[in-house]
Amino acid sequence: MWQTNATALRAGGEAMLVDSPYYPEELEAVPPLLDDSGFAPDALIATHGDFDHLLGRVAFPGLALGLGEPTVERFHREPGAAQRQLRDYDSKLYVERSGPLSLGQVQALPVPGSVELGDQELELHPASGHTSDGMVLFARWCGVLCVGDYLSRVEIPWISEGGSVEEYRATLARLRPLVEAADTIVPGHGAPHGSDVALGLLGEDLEYLDALERGEERPRLPQGRDSRFQRSIHTENLARV
Ligand SMILES: [Zn+2]
């Protein structure tokens, strides 16, 4: 079972979809849902270049996909990697799709920077560490902060290929004032939370990174994140540090 969040944002008559769900049935359900609620998107945007955040065009094939410049650079360095990862996960989870992942028209966005949405500006903040790329999106006008694969109640800090503990720590430090200014924090995986819960997770994540850097083989994992799969992420992290 896999679960990835998508967030619809709206301002001044324009809407945007951040990231994407993973399963075909979910992707099929998104367009009518957003239509009915007045959030039919004019554009797509992804927090980072991992396969499970890039499927917006499956639901909205006509829309361009906004990516941070670091993500575009990552795709140039590893052409086809996201497509291969998606195929691997699909086969593991017995997911069938009508075609391969295509990114379509990509718009590169400077990070740090901002992108216009209707009469508002969506802030783009750098967020590497989990991967070599990554950005956090802050819709300050409505208090929604989309953090990508950070501050999750279900996932420990994952230093995946291209990521680093040092950059992960820098991202957490940048996140703190944003989390304090936000009302709703939406992680890539697991339920959204308020500022207090997100700050608690941030503290737990820093403690975990300390244990990781000490090379602990069986550290105490935070409550709710101590599962076999999270232990396997820890083993992968240890090999990378
Ligand atoms: Zn992810």
- 46: its two tokens: 């992804």
CA atoms within 13 A of residue 97's CA, in its CB half-sphere: 21
User: Which has the closest alpha carbon to 90: 133, 137, 142, 51?
Assistant: 51
Give me the pLDDT at residue 141, please.
Answer: 98
Average of per-residue pLDDT across 89-108:
94
Q: Which residue has the tokens 């935070």?
A: 222
Q: Is the pLDDT of residue 1 over 90?
A: no
**188 CA to centre of ligand 1 in angstroms:** 6
Q: What is the DSSP string of 39-81?
A: ---SEEEESS--GGG-THHHH-TTS-EEEEHHHHHHHHHSTTH
**158 CA to centre of ligand 1 in angstroms:** 10
**168 CA to centre of ligand 1 in angstroms:** 15
User: Which has the closest alpha carbon to 38: 56, 13, 5, 20?
Assistant: 13
Q: Is the pLDDT of residue 172 over 80?
A: yes
**131 CA to centre of ligand 1 in angstroms:** 10
CB atoms within 10 A of CB 8: 17
Q: Is 86 helix (H, G, I), strand (E, B) or coil?
A: helix
**50 CA to centre of ligand 1 in angstroms:** 6
**171 CA to centre of ligand 1 in angstroms:** 16
User: Model confidence at 175, in pLDDT bands (50, 70, 90)?
Assistant: very high
Q: Could you read off the pLDDT of 108-128 as tens digits, one per residue? A: 999 999 999 999 999 999 999
- 102: its two tokens: 């295509």
CB atoms within 10 A of CB 216: 13
Q: Is the pLDDT of residue 15 over 90?
A: yes
Mean confidence (pLDDT) of the chain: 97
**20 CA to centre of ligand 1 in angstroms:** 10
80 burial type by CB count under 10 A (0-12 exposed, 13-18 middle, 19+ buried) = exposed
**134 CA to centre of ligand 1 in angstroms:** 11
Give me the pLDDT at residue 59, please.
Answer: 96
Q: Is the pLDDT of residue 95 over 80?
A: yes
**11 CA to centre of ligand 1 in angstroms:** 26
- 101: its two tokens: 């992942």
**102 CA to centre of ligand 1 in angstroms:** 18
Checking DSSP bridges between strand 113-117 and strand 106-109, what pairing results, if any?
Answer: unpaired
Residues facing residue 9 across a β-bridge: 16
Give me the pLDDT at residue 64, please.
Answer: 96
C-beta of residue 36 within 8 angstroms of C-beta of residue 69:
no
Q: Is the pLDDT of residue 27 over 80?
A: yes
Q: Is the pLDDT of residue 194 over 90?
A: yes
Give me the pLDDT at residue 79, please.
Answer: 93
Q: What percent of the chain has pLDDT over 90?
A: 97
